[in-house]
Structure 1
């Protein structure tokens, strides 16, 4: 299998447990940051889950409520599980906590050249490198996760350009 992502676009995949909160938020944040820079045509951005139980579900209500509060578009993403092909199709695959990273490392094929990154390692607030799982709430947890994702995506984009 070829590393398809290397052929044309930069690519980032955000992977959390269920793909209805953190990964969707980070996907939308990065998508809008590259739009602001006028470079969206140079990027492939997506999100996925390590678990299967939310496949096909739309983002959790508080995810879109938080995005909207920050003048972002609500996401219409449908949750999906990470696939083996993703490890070939994306340059960067981000996890949000130690469990996500364990799952990603276990699933990554040996010949894949994608880079696995704990998103929180990019946070300018060094108090933790775990992006909190805000599910099921309260809204303040979603606000914290949004702020963490935003800071990390800004740093990532500044380094990836």
Structure 2
């Protein structure tokens, strides 16, 4: 049974596609593509159909992640049903997701930084209105969180396989 992870930020052009690209690479490197699927979306329709912010693309590329071909989309009702884990980048997006989410799926929504092991921050800051350092901070936080998330999901995969 494949687990689906959905990363969510506001416009789906900075943080969530960065998380999608990083986590997809980690899943591929761990040979778990058949067990885990990865996607991203935004809570708002500001940038529908657009590729990620060029600053996010450049920052990710410096670390070996290619997010240039992702296309922004908005969270749908199906995402709540079909995703196993829905990770919000900050409190505002988490609140918006909770408001939209049917009650039976609300347990799937969490903050991304819940899985961090190296950073104590509760949220991934929005780098959109800042300088290039903000994109590096986002990468640091997301790499940390994705590492922790992969460990949790890897354990689930092996527990399921053993059952």
- TM superposition score normalised by structure 2: 0.90
Deviations 1:121-150 (A, max 9, x none): 222234311101011331110000011000
Higher helix share: 2
Question: Residue 58 in 1 paired to residue 55 in 2?
Answer: no
In 1, Cα distance between the equivalents of 2:114 and 2:126?
16
Runs of 4+ more than 3 Å apart: none
**SS at the partner of 2:8?**
strand
Q: What runs of 5+ residues in structure 1 fail to find an aligned partner?
A: 1-7
Q: Is the 8 A contact 1:65 1:74 kept in 2?
A: no
Structure 2 unaligned regions, length at least 5: 155-163
Does structure 1 conserve the Cα–Cα contact (< 8 Å) formed by 2:112 and 2:124? Answer: yes
Alignment-derived partner of residue 9 in structure 2: 16
Stretch of structure 1 that moved more, 105-114 or 34-43? 105-114
Distance 2:119 2:20 in 1: 22
Greater displacement, 28-37 / 40-49: 40-49
Q: Are the counterparts in 2 of residues 132 and 145 from structure 1 also a CA contact under 8 Å?
A: yes
Residue in structure 2 matching 1:112, options 105, 109, 122: 105
Structure 1 residues 104 and 113: CA distance shift in structure 2, 3 A: closer
The match for 1:80 is: 73
Aligned residues: 154
1:99 to 85, 92, 100: 92
Alignment RMSD? 1.3
Please say which of residues 117-126 and 135-144 is displaced more in the overlay.
117-126
Contact kept? 1:24, 1:75, Cα under 8 Å: no
Q: Does 1:129 align with 2:122?
A: yes
Farther off after superposition, 16-25 or 106-115: 106-115
Report the 3-state secondary structure (helix = DSSP H, G, I; strand = E; otherwise coil) of the residue aligned with 2:41. strand
Which SS does the other structure have where 2:87 is aligned?
Answer: strand
Q: Name the CA distance, whole Å, in 1 between partners of 2:119 and 2:24.
A: 24
**CA–CA separation in structure 1 for the residues paired with 2:87 and 2:95:** 12
